[in-house]
Amino acid sequence: LLRKIFFFVQEVEQTYIMIKPDGVQRGLVGEIISRFEKKGFLLKGLKLFQCPKDLAQEHYKDLKERPFFPNLIDYITSGPVVCMAWEGDGVVASARKLIGATNPLQAEPGTIRGDLAVQTGRNVVHGSDSPDNGKREIGLWFKEGELAQWESVQTPWLIE
């Protein structure tokens, strides 16, 4: 009961994870989703989506002065992406660790990028870099009502 009350009062941390078009094209959707599932985070939202240019630009607006920005926007809009919202204490930093370094050649083995990619410009997955950006990006990519309100039967076996 206490956890239930806490659940309603406390805002649980959420992160925006996205499988980029190369991950979808290379048939890595199941593999990537399962990394987060197996870790024990809670899936709150999931959809396959063809991203329009303006949304890609808004999502990556902090990088708009960078030389690779036009290529990045072409890349992200080049095919469908898989949009996900994942929830759990510490999920933002933990997901970044599961994803690995931006340059897949520098990403540790065992991470998604370390295991599944070779180039920064084709690094298969995105993860929010802060809880605030998690909120911002989930708000950008999901509409009201697209996130599910549910509790997993696994929760008592994951969180004491």
List, as residue ranges, the binding site for ATP: 20, 68, 96, 102, 113, 123
By beta-carbon proximity to ligand UDP, the closer residue of 121 and 139 is 121
Q: Which of 52, 70, 110, 121 binds ligand UDP (CB under 6 A)?
A: 121
Is residue 59 part of the annotated active site? The answer reads no
By beta-carbon proximity to ligand UDP, the closer residue of 24 and 72 is 72
Residue 62 Cβ vs Mg ion, minimum distance, rounded to whole Å: 8
Torsion of CA 140, 21, 97, 159, to 10 degrees: 60
Are the beta carbons of 124 and 117 closer than 8 angstroms?
yes
Residue 78 within binding range of ligand UDP, rule CB under 6 A: no
Residue 102 Cβ vs ligand UDP, minimum distance, rounded to whole Å: 3
27 burial type by CB count under 10 A (0-12 exposed, 13-18 middle, 19+ buried): exposed
Residue 72 Cβ vs ligand UDP, minimum distance, rounded to whole Å: 5
Q: Which of 120, 133, 146, 147 binds ligand UDP (CB under 6 A)?
A: 120
Q: How far is CA 15 from CA 18, 45, 106, in A?
A: 10, 10, 23
By beta-carbon proximity to ligand UDP, the closer residue of 25 and 120 is 120
Residue 129 within binding range of ligand UDP, rule CB under 6 A: yes
DSSP-derived secondary structure letter, 18: E
DSSP-derived secondary structure letter, 144: T
Are the beta carbons of 99 and 127 closer than 8 angstroms?
yes
Stretch that binds Mg ion, among 12-20, 28-36, 53-61, 125-133 (CB under 5 A): 125-133
Residue given tokens 């997993």 in the structure block:
152
Q: How far is CA 88 from CA 62, 95, 115, 118, in A?
A: 26, 10, 24, 29
Point out which residues bind ligand UDP (CB under 6 A).
63, 68, 72, 102, 120-121, 123, 126, 129
Catalytic residue annotation: 126
